[in-house]
Structure 1
Amino acid sequence: MQNATAPTQRDPKRWLALLAISLGVFMSLIDTTVVNVALPSIQAHLNASYSDLQWVISAYTIVFSVLLLIWSKLGDLYGRKLIFLIGLVIFTIGSGLDAASTTIGWLHIFRAIQAVGGSAMMALSFAIIGSTFDNKERGIALGILSSIIGLSTASGPLLGGWLTDAFNWQSIFTINLPLGVIAVVLVLMFVPSAQEHHATGGVDFLGMLLSAGTIFTLVFGLVQKEMHATWDWGNMQVAGYLVAAVVLFILFIWRQMKAKNPMMDLSMFKSQTFVGAVVMAFFLGAGLYGFFAYLSTFMQNYAGYTAWETGLRQVAISGWSLVLGPVAGMLTNRFRHGYMLAVSTLFIGGGLLIMSFLITKTATFAELWPAFIIIGIGSGSINPPMTTAAMSSVKPQQMGMASGMISTFMQVGLSFGVVFQGLRLADGYQAGLKAHMPDLAAVHVPAELITTLHNVLVKVGPFSGSAVAHSKQVLATPFAHQIQEIVRIAFDRGFVEILRIDAGLLLAGGLVSIILIKSGRLGGKQ
């Protein structure tokens, strides 16, 4: 159904409310990427292992994903401003605790606390904006918020690199303290407390437990596979969690069908437009945001850029969000949302395909920038029609849950994307090594040494292959350049596979959008 409900009177402070919500969302999302570039400093200062460092990221990702739907329901029941504010305070406190960590174990715990707050902010952001602005302005407001989301996702390496280089790793967390205080004040002053439509009934505790269990076992199973690439899918430490996720999901659906006051109103899924929006969110997380994770690795580890230089060049992608987000938001009042999404995915998918053909063993930003711009145009315009379609296809009292569903599907998509693309990268990397390591015989490298080098490079994987190729031991040999070239070719082989997979995911999402999403000016029944 089309949500035609609008605020009876425009709140004169609504644009300042948008600023407050945007600041909170920016803080919560940038912390999913800003920490990546600080990992070497954290490793040195806290004497952390590689596995420890992975959990610095995974602890945040898992908790963030698990709680999205729970916070969404609590916001619908008890007030979205209240729950957003609670999340903002928890996030700010968690950031301070992160910076005060004296061991890697405490950092893991405090990152999880930080994610509790970040999840609450992200879960309710779209719903607060959707209910604060009327139908005419809603698209523009959601477009601005979407541009902030796109900017935060891509600017993490830039900000993290600058803070780590200029100060220390703790600064990537302490910067949230003054920003958090400012955001709290802005939310208290400008976000309206009145919520015209509240969900009714009590809290479905069993539904919440099943929801959290489903998402936890799903994401944790994927994280296990990501952290242990040599494990096959039948390993019980992977398959066990994924099977548990399926069982818990079935129980969750059963509970929602039987409960007097279910956590989630399944009638939302009667809307093709809503279904199309959440499916598009999954493809966007898996394809585009998964791509960003590996783009930074390519640019820093293989193209030779520092974290700061990497972030600066990625502005060619992320910078478009600031311009096109609001423009796309305005256009949601004029065009069918499914068609807009299809055009955006065509740009992103086309840019990824073009980039896959531009990748060579010497390629740098100087050769890749046209693809960056094409990807940026698509990524800068894709969120507004997706979120507007979702918000306009549900009842006002369901907006919080709808907002949480979009965020959840995007996070789960990101987890899927990172894992499956990581596997494809490793396969391509290993195939490249197998094909080209024998070439070292032409420069008189002994066969035993070739085998030893091959085994070492396979063991360290595509993320660390370049570090080995540029290590002191290798640089001391007369064939160092040949090894570096082979490792670059091997990585590129896997990276090209990722680009083409991501292009396929985005184009598939665009096709789904055309078929299912009927909202918008030219849309009809949903």
Structure 2
Amino acid sequence: MTVSDTQTHPTATEPNPKRWLAMAIVSLAVSIIIMDATIVNVILPVLIQDLSLSVSEAEWVNSIYALVFAALLITVGRMGDLFGRRRLLLVGTVIFVGASVLAAASETGTMLLAARLLQGVGGAMILPSTLSTVNAMFTGRERGIAFAIWGSTIGGMAAVGPLLGGWLATDFSWHWAFLINVPIGIIIVVGTILWVPETRDPHATRGVDAAGIALSIVGLAAIVFGLIEGQRYGWWLVASAPVIGDWTWPFALSPVPIAFAIGVVALVGFVLVETAKARAGRFVLLDLGLFRIRSLRYGSIAALIVALGEFGMLFALPLYVQSVLGFTALNTGLLVLALAIGTFLISGGTAQIGRRIGGRGVVRLGLLLEVIAVAGLALSISATANAWALAAWLFLYGIGVGLATAQLTNVILVDVPVAQSGQASGVQSTVRQLGAALGIAILGTVLVTTLAAATAANLENVEGLDAAAQEQVVSVVTGSAGAAIPELASMPGSSAAVQTAASDAMVTAARITTFSAAGVLALGLLATVGLPATPVRRPEEAGAEAEADEPEAQPVAE
């Protein structure tokens, strides 16, 4: 570091005077990428109708965003360590905003999916750069507060997204659910240039792990593809042959098991390649030795499972309340706002609770509340469900998210050496986004499969409906993921009895899917058994930690 660098940037013992302004910008950056992971949930029924999306395309609108996130986070997180996290944040924001404009201008499902893919690329650059920047800017007690803000932003904005999307889709149009990112992105770019310091990992060795990058992307993409497309193409034998242009899949075997096999082989290859390179002292994309750290290993498992349950539930709930209860997109957003309120109300007390029962205790308490809330939500689902009862369960769920999500990040990184914090940040962000992709894929499949079976069974009791008509109704209902149910009675050859049968089927599917989400969250709670105990500190002891805690590498000037 040169003399001018020292004068321009804080020293190791001198905290960045603009750190809280930078924290506000970092939180705003996290907000837009998390909002866009959930904002589509509320406007999805509108998108299905306006763009004539198939059920597979509807699932991919969300999943391709989370999938690209998961596939690229390790790679771009490493780029931030090497070339600068602020630089990565700026580039990611520009890509994200540009993709949002493309999404808003979409006229077909294909165009929207391409835009969502690009949003995933930009978001994958933003998320690890924000977490590593927070870890670099703060120390001691302030670092714990900053982690709590970062984590609570994730949980809270996952709920604010549906509210914002619902309001924009109802009072304006779904296009504005994406265009809203433009002014926010401009603020992030300006604020990042003014206040966010440039940081790198001075211990990181430069290099390119092309094999690791390729294997990780192929492995994750192939597995999530199989989960999403299994319902459409068949889990073993072809149910519907894939068509690309003039080419049609020529085999009796579905492409889904082939995708699973490719994914497993690629991920196993990734582990073998990274292990061999690390032993040889060569540059690796991911140091798998990090998983020897108990807190990171079990915390990552818990984070993956929790994200799977959370995002899977948030995919199913808006479809149910709009297709069965007749909620508008705005009313759906207002309902899910209860989740955000619970998250934000508890976030201020998370640190105090942590001093009483420790970080691991806070995570467990939060997950327990999430399990209870989602199970209660499943029990409350019916054709005449009370909105206030649903909101109450979502409020309790939000409290659990505020406790678990905020502290889980801290618990995962607590024992990671400073020199490896960049990679560890990428790992924990990756498992969260992979969990989100898997949650939408797995629980989305549960929803659609159950909806198809329940609709077919209920239609058998409708008089005057022949087999061909029943099959057509099942196709319409499942093809729209239930979004077409409110219009069924007005369709030619249909009736109010047909709509009631489909509505009851959606209730059954939503209830089973939500119970499944509760079960997944219970597995996440079980995974915390492996987390090491974190010390319980009295208030007067907190200051001692702040003095003893050493900061990560300080900003390196351009």
Q: Same fold (TM over 0.5)?
A: yes
- What does 1:211-226 correspond to in 2, within 5 Å? 211-225=216-230
Report what 1:492 is aligned to: 507
CA-CA distance at 1:407 after TM superposition = 2.1
Report what 2:297 is aligned to: 275
| CA deviation vs aligned residue, 1:68-91 (integer Å, no higher than 9, x gap) | 110111112222222222211221
| CA deviation vs aligned residue, 1:20-70 (integer Å, no higher than 9, x gap) | 111111111212232344456656776766655555444433322211110
| CA deviation vs aligned residue, 1:253-288 (integer Å, no higher than 9, x gap) | 122122211111122111111011111111111112
| CA deviation vs aligned residue, 1:448-495 (integer Å, no higher than 9, x gap) | x15445323332345554634643546987x61x43333232222222
Identify if the C-alpha distance between structure 1 residues 230 and 55 changes in structure 2 by more than 3 Å, giving closer, same or farther: same
Deviates more, 1:277-286 or 1:460-469: 460-469
> Residue 13 of structure 2: SS of its match in structure 1?
coil
- What does 1:298-317 correspond to in 2, within 5 Å? 298-317=320-339
Determine whether 1:257 maps to 2:275: yes
Deviates more, 1:230-239 or 1:285-294: 230-239
CA-CA distance at 1:242 after TM superposition = 1.5
Give me the whole-angstrom Cα distance separating, in 1, the residues matched to 2:486 and 2:492: 8
Give me the whole-angstrom Cα distance separating, in 1, the residues matched to 2:101 and 2:356: 45
| CA deviation vs aligned residue, 1:128-155 (integer Å, no higher than 9, x gap) | 2122111312221111112221122222
Determine whether 1:504 maps to 2:499: no
Give me the whole-angstrom Cα distance separating, in 2, the residues matched to 1:488 and 1:175: 33
Find 2:377's aligned residue among 345, 355, 363. 355
Identify if the C-alpha distance between structure 1 residues 499 and 264 changes in structure 2 by more than 3 Å, giving closer, same or farther: same
Asked whether the 8 Å contact 1:144–1:322 carries over to 2, the reply is no
> Residue 12 of structure 1: SS of its match in structure 2?
coil
Give me the whole-angstrom Cα distance separating, in 2, the residues matched to 1:129 and 1:258: 32
Give me the whole-angstrom Cα distance separating, in 2, the residues matched to 1:40 and 1:369: 21
Deviates more, 1:336-345 or 1:366-375: 366-375
**What is the TM-score with the length of structure 2 in the denominator?**
0.83
Q: Which amino acid aligns with 1:432?
A: A
**What is the TM-score with the length of structure 1 in the denominator?**
0.88
Q: Which amino acid aligns with 1:454?
A: Q
Deviates more, 1:192-201 or 1:491-500: 192-201
Report what 1:393 is aligned to: 415
Root mean square deviation, CA, Å:
2.8
- Sequence identity of aligned pairs in percent? 30
CA-CA distance at 1:350 after TM superposition = 0.9
Give me the whole-angstrom Cα distance separating, in 2, the residues matched to 1:468 and 1:102: 24
Q: Which amino acid aligns with 2:298?
A: G
- What does 1:100-499 correspond to in 2, within 5 Å? 100-101=105-106, 104-195=109-200, 197-225=202-230, 228=232, 230-232=234-236, 235-259=253-277, 260-329=282-351, 331-332=353-354, 334-433=356-455, 435-440=457-462, 445-446=463-464, 449=465, 451-462=467-478, 463-465=480-482, 467-468=484-485, 470-473=487-490, 480=496, 482-499=497-514
Asked whether the 8 Å contact 2:95–2:121 carries over to 1, the reply is yes
Give me the whole-angstrom Cα distance separating, in 1, the residues matched to 2:103 and 2:439: 27
Asked whether the 8 Å contact 2:86–2:196 carries over to 1, the reply is yes
How many residue pairs end up in the alignment? Answer: 508
Give me the whole-angstrom Cα distance separating, in 1, the residues matched to 2:221 and 2:106: 25
Q: Which amino acid aligns with 1:323?
A: L
Identify if the C-alpha distance between structure 1 residues 364 and 338 changes in structure 2 by more than 3 Å, giving closer, same or farther: same
Identify if the C-alpha distance between structure 1 residues 232 and 490 changes in structure 2 by more than 3 Å, giving closer, same or farther: farther
Asked whether the 8 Å contact 2:228–2:445 carries over to 1, the reply is no
Give me the whole-angstrom Cα distance separating, in 2, the residues matched to 1:11 and 1:316: 36
Deviates more, 1:159-168 or 1:103-112: 103-112
Identify if the C-alpha distance between structure 1 residues 109 and 394 changes in structure 2 by more than 3 Å, giving closer, same or farther: same
Give me the whole-angstrom Cα distance separating, in 2, the residues matched to 1:199 and 1:126: 17
> Residue 533 of structure 2: SS of its match in structure 1?
coil
Q: Which amino acid aligns with 1:275?
A: R
Asked whether the 8 Å contact 1:202–1:261 carries over to 2, the reply is yes
> Residue 534 of structure 2: SS of its match in structure 1?
coil
Q: Which amino acid aligns with 2:470?
A: H
> Residue 99 of structure 2: SS of its match in structure 1?
helix
Asked whether the 8 Å contact 2:485–2:503 carries over to 1, the reply is no
Asked whether the 8 Å contact 2:81–2:201 carries over to 1, the reply is no
Give me the whole-angstrom Cα distance separating, in 1, the residues matched to 2:59 and 2:153: 26
Give me the whole-angstrom Cα distance separating, in 1, the residues matched to 2:225 and 2:79: 24
Asked whether the 8 Å contact 1:98–1:173 carries over to 2, the reply is yes
Q: Which amino acid aligns with 1:459?
A: S
Q: Which ranges of structure 2 fall in alignment gaps of 5 or more residues? A: 1-10, 239-252, 538-558
> Residue 429 of structure 2: SS of its match in structure 1?
helix
Identify if the C-alpha distance between structure 1 residues 22 and 502 changes in structure 2 by more than 3 Å, giving closer, same or farther: same
Deviates more, 1:191-200 or 1:502-511: 191-200
Determine whether 1:11 maps to 2:12: no
Asked whether the 8 Å contact 1:457–1:465 carries over to 2, the reply is no
Give me the whole-angstrom Cα distance separating, in 2, the residues matched to 1:451 and 1:359: 29
